[in-house]
Amino acid sequence: MMVDRDTPASSHPAPNGNTASRKRSVLQEEIQQNRPFKSKGQEATLALFRTADILRRKTSEVFSDSGITHQQYNVLRILRGAGDDGLPTLSIADRMIEQTPGITRLIDRLVAKELVIRERVPNDRRRVQCFISESGLELLASLDEPVDGNDDRVMGMLNEDEKTHLVELLDKIRLGLRELEPK
């Protein structure tokens, strides 16, 4: 349920017990939460989680008829970008949009669907190089237009400046979170 931010404020008791009008956020309306969030940080985090879930579901709809998941699509795009050189499994894992501990199983499924080819490196039998197959390239080509259309549709409510600002804010958050990771 989308709520217009310009609608009149909901009337709920304020924390001090008064019945003063206090406007609930869109997220509070969506999750039917009457109490205020503990902080703007909590609200922002939950709003990101909620938005990411909706975006993931909308994007997964694009792939449903193709028989692949959004993570498998991500692997195929990475391998298409790598070109004829292919990539080792761990390099694919490092480039994934969503980190997954099961990258080998993910690639196993793509090999079984004949979308990826896996080969041992001749001079280092411990290393495995992955390549996108011709079938994988064809599948991606068939998905390029629907994916581009979906990207436009799910971000269509923002103008170009807002999209740029959103990307900058998300970059700032990710860079800040990297600083929190143990060295």
Task: Read off the pLDDT of residues 71-124 as tens digits, 9 standing for 90 and up.
Answer: 999 999 999 999 999 999 999 999 999 888 889 999 999 999 999 999 988 888
Q: pLDDT tens-digit profile of 115-162? A: 999 998 888 878 889 999 999 999 999 999 999 999 999 999 999 999
Give residue-wise pLDDT tens across range 47-57: 999 999 999 99
Domains of the chain, by residue range, sit at: 1-45, 66-141, 152-183
- Confidence (pLDDT) at 16: 46
Q: What is the pLDDT of residue 7?
A: 37
CB atoms within 10 A of CB 135: 13
In three-state form (DSSP H/G/I as H, E/B as E, the rest C), the secondary structure along 62-99 is HHHHHCCCHHHHHHHHHHHHHHHHCEEHHHHHHHCCCC
Cite the DSSP H helix spans in the chain. 26-30, 40-63, 70-82, 89-95, 103-112, 134-154, 160-180
Assigned token pair, 126 = 């411990």
Rounded to two decimals, the pTM is: 0.78
| 63, 67, 71, 75: CA torsion to nearest 10 | -110
- CATH of 66-141, picked from 1.10.10.10, 1.10.10.1400, 3.20.20.70, 1.10.1130.10, is 1.10.10.10
